[in-house]
Chains A and B, each alone.
Chain A
Amino acid sequence: MHVELDAITKTFGSVRANDNISMRLDGGRIYAVLGENGAGKSTLMKIVSGYQPPDSGRILLDGRAVQFGMPADALRFGIGMLHQEPLDVPSLTVMDNFILGRPGGLLPDRRGARQQLDGEMARFGFTLNPDAYIDTLTIGERQQLEIMRLLSLGARVLILDEPTTGISAEQKDMLFQSLRDLAKNDGLTVVLVSHKLEDVEALCDQVIVLRAGRVVGEQTMPISTAQMVDMMFGQRLDPVTRERHSGKGRIVLQIDNLHVEGQRLKVEQVYLKVAAGEVIGMAGLDGSGQLEMLRACAGLEHPTYGRIMLNGEDITQRPYHEHTARGIAFAPAGRLEEGLISGLTVSEHFALASPPQGLWVDWKGSTERAQTRIAEYSIRGQPASSIQTLSGGNQQRVLLALLPPKLQLLLLDNPTRGLDVESARWIWSQLLKRHEEGTAILFVSPDLDEIIEYSDRIAVFYGGRVTLINDPSSITAAQLGGLIGGKTL
């Protein structure tokens, strides 16, 4: 089936997410839609798969114009979309998720669906237990289920949104192999939405690049990485260079035989010593316990066993506010969910986070402080702006600006989530300033490139154990992807 997009335009408020986009996608080929965060690729794919209507423009399937009211309409026409975090129901079983949304009467045809699922699994070599609950699966396994489900419902076009984030190298190989088979043998149109160049190089036949809501280039593979970067950013990015920390010096954080319970498994016997100014990246598949470890260091999670020491003092099981008093700070990933307070202004945030001084709110002082920090962190906003009116990048800047100066230990969960490349680099330049001042940094990220680029050492979480990589420059993202999936180097 071939898909044509004709002058698709979509605006959100004053932002043109898609600006007059046209393209043609043929059956049997694998396309990459490439672009940095905010380039408009997700919006475009949501329009193609029926999640959002375009403001104007047409979608043509095999030359026929179609309109979708819902994603299910798009799937009926053969367009299926796989989301970065698969849209399934965590509290239901694999089988229930497979059945959900299938056409049928009052009673689902469980036996028929089971046979179909078994058939699809045999075809791809996937092994899922139909009675397992979704919340016990990895993201990679949930993607496999979604792909099988979409195909069983007759998808001829498969759109995958950043499918390689948070899955292991092995799962990625399996995914790519199935996609190649589907395109070559079954003539499916496969669209990979990504900002990862290595994925595009490994898989795709054709690359379409979006920037600021427009198509800025289309090339047949293979082309060089440099060419792709040129198209994406309009310029070349200099690699960040800095000296790796030696790991010597005063030990700030010492983790001693720690046991924590993760979402899906327990992490046991963790030993780690972090020196002042050291940056440790924590890599692992989603739910492998890295986040729980991070939160345990902040006093937000209680380890089941073991000790956490800060500057030689045992802080295990102490409450969160004692951790902050000792110079530990935690920056969560969900900015508006657990970091900032929707409905409060920027200066109210500064008033709230400032060290306690007396009974009254110092409005003048906190407005001034907000003003200074807004300038320092080049935040686009006013002291009186409500925080939810700021963009994601600016919210992240506020979150960092709120952190107290002179920290012993800074804990970050996914510090650049959803940010474009420029903002992400800026955020890291600020973080690295802190590391130069001697603050030890621990961070969790699903982005393996980010981990390799900024860590002095990497803690790999797999199967309830943690292994350390002492020289991140010696390893590639692909190798690290293998490690978090349980391979050895």
Chain B
Amino acid sequence: MTPLQNGLRRMGGAGAVLIPALVLVLVFIVAVLLALGKDPALAAQKFIDGALGNDSRRADVVMTALPILLCASGLLLTYTAGLWNIGVEGQVTIGAVFATFIARTVTLNQTSIPILLIEIGLAALGGALWALLTAILKTRGKVNEIFGGVALNFISQNILIYLVSGPWQAPGNSPTTAPFAEGALFPRIGGLRLSPLAIVLAVIAYAAVFVVLNGTRWGLQLRAMGRSEKSAFLLGVRTERNVLLSMALCGALAGVAGAIQVLFTRGRLVTGISGGVGFLGVLIVLLVMVRAAWVPLVTLFFAIVPVGSQKLDVSMNLDSAIGNVFQSALVLAVLLANGVQGRLAARRK
């Protein structure tokens, strides 16, 4: 069997899991809508129109997908190594904060690549440092990365609130900085909200991660660690160093995602700047079971959901949080379906 055939067969197997799970979740969502007295057919129509109805909306989907893709790419590294980097949300936030250090001082009114590079570099540095905190707590303090990450998420959130309601607050009462000057922002194409630079960054990051995991010795080492840290160590893998390195790289990519959020999506620093892209990345990596090839497709699908459900908010008075419910319910359903399939396969043997 060629690798391609093998891949197709595996994709078929995954489809057998994905489709029943998707149906199950759609039934669940329809039931919720009916219980709330909303017309599911109308909601579906509005949702699809809201996400894919015209060029500008399709551009929004792409731009929404980019930070998620960056986070998911980074998380592929840590999850392959068996590290539950729940702290990715905080790494996005700190990345955005670090980018803001420069962005709020810029007064230039036209796009400047050097400024952008410095901002992005700082954001990556901030995210990486924040991730290293969790990693060092794990390797040196023996604090599980889940708890270290969660705590640092909340701490970063509070730092953010402090900054935008304190020293960096724009005149007025709302917790936000002033909008940044054009020179600090990602350039965009004509009338569309589309930034080629952000697309390039995300695609390069994903491609690099894909190659690292599938072709390099380091990728093999991460896989070995993820399966058994003890054995990998005895076989010569420098596990502690790899924990630090994979966490830092994931943090850097999350930081860049934060830069896109602050320098493109929002154009200023506000509370909740991450917009949950980190956790979405975690959900995606769990859904694809840490198989890198599936990530872009699932990410695009996950980006359609928030864009489409915004339309529901406006036109049907339906809280857009239903999009989040849909996403996490889908991941749970896929996990469960995978479990069922695994048990059935084991029983057949």
Contact = CB atoms under 8 A, between A and B. Distances in A.
B184 to A, nearest CB: 36
A343 B220 contact: no
A352 B216 contact: no
Contacts of A336: 228, 231
Interface of B is mostly: helix
A72 interface: no
B234 A338 contact: yes
Interface in B215-241: 215-221, 223-224, 227-228, 230-238
B14 to A, nearest CB: 18
A344 B223 contact: yes
Contacts of A321: 236, 238
A352 B232 contact: yes
Contacts of A352: 220-221, 224, 232, 235-237
Contact of B217 (A13, A342, A360): A360
A456 to B, nearest CB: 26
A330 B217 contact: no
A342 B216 CA distance: 20
B89 to A, nearest CB: 29
Interface in A298-352: 320-321, 324, 330, 332, 336-344, 348-349, 351-352
A361 B231 contact: no
B142 to A, nearest CB: 16
Contact of B235 (A343, A356, A360, A402): A402
Nearest to B215: A360
Chain B interface residue bracket vs A: 20 to 34
Interface string B185-225: 00000000000000000000000000000011111110110
Listed residue (A320, A330, A337, A360) with the most chain B CB atoms within 10 angstroms of its CB: A360
A353 interface: yes
B135 to A, nearest CB: 18
Contacts of B223: 344, 348
Nearest to B212: A359
A85 B173 CA distance: 69
B215 A361 contact: yes
A353 to B, nearest CB: 5
Given A352-B221, A361-B216, A361-B220, A343 B232 contact: no
Given A324-B236, A338-B234, A351 B227 contact: no
A352 B216 CA distance: 11
B94 to A, nearest CB: 30
Contacts of A359: 216-218
A351 B227 CA distance: 16
A323 to B, nearest CB: 11
A341 B228 contact: yes
A360 B271 CA distance: 43
B216 A332 contact: no
Contacts, number: 62
A356 B217 contact: yes
A343 B227 contact: yes
B217 A341 contact: no
A330 B231 CA distance: 11
Contacts of B230: 337-338
A181 to B, nearest CB: 44
Contact of A351 (B217, B232, B233, B234): B217
B231 A340 contact: yes
A338 B227 CA distance: 11
A349 B219 CA distance: 13
A340 B227 CA distance: 10
B220 A351 contact: yes
Contacts of B349: 13
A340 B231 CA distance: 6
A330 B235 CA distance: 9
B234 A330 contact: yes
A342 B235 CA distance: 13
A324 B236 CA distance: 8
Nearest to A363: B215
Contacts of A324: 236
Interface string B144-173: 000000000000000000000000000000
Contacts of B216: 359-361
Contacts of B215: 360-361
Contact of B228 (A330, A338, A360): A338
Most B CB contacts (10 A, CB to CB) among A339, A341, A349, A356 go to A341
B319 to A, nearest CB: 42
Contacts of B227: 341-344
Nearest to A357: B217
A348 B237 CA distance: 13
A336 B215 CA distance: 25
A402 B236 CA distance: 11
Given A321-B238, A324-B236, A339 B220 contact: no
Given A344-B223, A351-B217, A361-B217, A337 B236 contact: no
Given A338-B228, A361-B216, A349 B233 contact: no
A337 B217 contact: no
Given A338-B230, A341-B228, A343-B227, A348 B236 contact: no
Contacts of A358: 217
Nearest to A348: B220
Contacts of B224: 341, 344, 348, 352
Contacts of A338: 228, 230-231, 234
Interface in A336-389: 336-344, 348-349, 351-353, 356, 358-361
Nearest to B230: A338
Contacts of B234: 320, 330, 332, 338-339
A349 B236 CA distance: 11
Interface in A1-46: 13
B78 to A, nearest CB: 18
A337 B231 CA distance: 7
A353 B236 contact: yes
Nearest to A353: B235
A330 B234 CA distance: 8
Interface string B236-263: 1110000000000000000000000000
19 contacts: A320-B234, A342-B227, A342-B228, A343-B227, A344-B224, A348-B220, A349-B235, A351-B220, A352-B221, A352-B237, A353-B235, A356-B217, A358-B217, A359-B217, A360-B216, A360-B217, A361-B215, A361-B216, A361-B219
- A-B pairs with the 9 shortest C-beta distances? A338-B230, A343-B227, A341-B227, A341-B231, A341-B228, A353-B235, A341-B224, A361-B217, A359-B216
Interface of B: 215-221, 223-224, 227-228, 230-238, 349
Given A352-B221, A353-B235, 20 more contacts: A320-B234, A321-B236, A321-B238, A337-B228, A338-B231, A340-B228, A341-B224, A341-B227, A341-B232, A344-B223, A348-B224, A349-B235, A351-B217, A353-B236, A356-B217, A358-B217, A359-B216, A360-B217, A361-B219, A361-B220
Interface of A: 13, 320-321, 324, 330, 332, 336-344, 348-349, 351-353, 356, 358-361, 402
